[in-house]
Amino acid sequence: MKVWIDGEFFGEADAKVSVFDHGLLYGDGVFEGIRMYHNRIFKLREHIERLYWSAKALLLEIPMSPEELVRACVATCQANGLRDGYIRLLVTRGKGTLGLDPRRCPRPSVIIIASTIQLYPEKYYEEGLTIVTVPTTRNSVNSVNPAIKSLNYLNNILARIEANNAGVEEAILLNSDGFVAECTGDNVFIVHKGRLLTPPQSAGALYGITRGTVLDCARDLGIPSAEPNLSRYDVYIADEMFLTGTAAEMVPVVKVDGRVIGNGRPGPVTASLLAAFRDRTRTDGEIIFPADSGAVLT
């Protein structure tokens, strides 16, 4: 594996950052997870736009232009011979002192990792997940705003530990008002009486790229959608449920807190949206190997 760090490629064993990097010391930095499908980096420009939004919120100046980041991501995929897989793009505050002050970090660092990924076993996409609601509350928008995709993921990790302890693959986090925010790494969708519903971003949901793509697919398919506050009761009485995320894509949920969702099987609306989403991955995104641009690779 070749890792891109500040304009150079390093082998996996030599891809290192300073122990004084504030991304390591304090979680001071931002990141994006991006997928490659069929020789294309899906929604790359949208991910980079969101990266800049997160960095702006932290007063973190990315030392590259968006176009330079696009080219660097493509080059990293090419260097690793990847047409399908996953990119982790990070910007850290950079090397500094042991103090918190970000002004002591003269230059941020950019890291790009390209590899393969399999978040869930295939059976979960066919049979659906069983998940639980956990006690850990989603960060308030007045603390570490969940819209910032920062390197500090302890809120999500604490919830993931509770999911592990419960013996399930995912967990719902509620916000301080008791409404559904999101899962530890995914956005939440339910289907009720033919309507597609997902929590609003104001509830603590990430500005999900896959989330937005699914809402676009719903509009194209004529499926009515809305973004109301959702309680656990709304989830329990849903006809269908699924989660979305860059790594997870779209994965059905068939049981929450011991309550069976719908008939306990992935539903038809989920199936139609998944098909529409997968169609988009074949045509949307930056081409990695131009010589292959006329073919759809699998």
298 in a structural domain = no
Q: Indicate which CATH number applies to the domain containing 77.
A: 3.30.470.10
Report in angstroms the alpha-carbon separations of 97 from 100, 154, 220, 256: 8, 22, 51, 45
Do residues 232 and 261 touch, judged by C-beta distance below 8 A? Answer: no
Give yes or no: residues 13 and 137 share one domain. Answer: no
Give yes or no: residues 65 and 127 share one domain. Answer: no
105 in a structural domain = yes
176 in a structural domain = yes
Give yes or no: residues 210 and 159 share one domain. Answer: yes
Cα dihedral sign for 65, 66, 69, 75?
negative
- Which residues are within 8 A (CB) of 207 and not within 5 positions of it... i.e. 6 or more apart? 50, 53, 147, 201
292 in a structural domain = no
pLDDT tens, per residue, the chain with 298 residues: 999 999 999 999 999 999 999 999 999 999 999 999 999 999 999 999 999 999 999 999 999 999 999 999 999 999 999 999 999 999 999 999 999 999 999 999 999 999 998 778 889 999 999 999 999 999 998 899 999 999 999 999 999 999 999 999 999 999 999 999 999 999 999 999 999 999 999 999 988 999 999 999 999 999 999 999 999 999 999 999 999 999 999 999 999 999 999 999 999 999 999 999 999 999 999 999 998 655 443 3
Whole-number pLDDT of residue 293: 55
Beta strands in the chain (DSSP E): 2-5, 8-11, 29-37, 40-41, 85-92, 109-115, 129-137, 171-174, 180-183, 187-192, 195-197, 225-226, 240-245, 249-256, 259-260, 286-287
Single residue among 93, 115, 137 that ends a domain in this structure? 115
Give yes or no: residues 9 and 62 share one domain. Answer: yes
To the nearest 10 degrees (0 to 180), the angle between helices 268-281 and 209-221 is 110
The token pair that represents 151 in the structure block: 């390197």
Number of domains in the chain: 2
293 in a structural domain = no
This prediction has a pTM of 0.93
- Residues with a catalytic annotation lie at 149
Domain membership of residue 103 as a residue range = 2-115
287 in a structural domain = no
Give yes or no: residues 22 and 75 share one domain. Answer: yes
138 in a structural domain = yes
What region does 233 belong to: left with phi over 0, alpha with psi -120 to 50, or beta? Answer: alpha
Single residue among 89, 115, 141 that ends a domain in this structure? 115
Q: Which residue has 């890291």 as its token pair? A: 111
Whole-number pLDDT of residue 295: 41
Give yes or no: residues 156 and 253 share one domain. Answer: yes
Give yes or no: residues 139 and 10 share one domain. Answer: no
Do residues 149 and 46 touch, judged by C-beta distance below 8 A? Answer: no
Closest by alpha carbon to 261, among 185, 188, 212? 188
Whole-number pLDDT of residue 172: 98
Distance CA 251, CA 255 (A): 13
Distance CA 196, CA 217 (A): 11
Cα maximum dimension of the chain? 57
Q: Which residue has 């989830």 as its token pair? A: 235
Give yes or no: residues 127 and 99 share one domain. Answer: no
Q: Indicate which CATH number applies to the domain containing 208.
A: 3.20.10.10
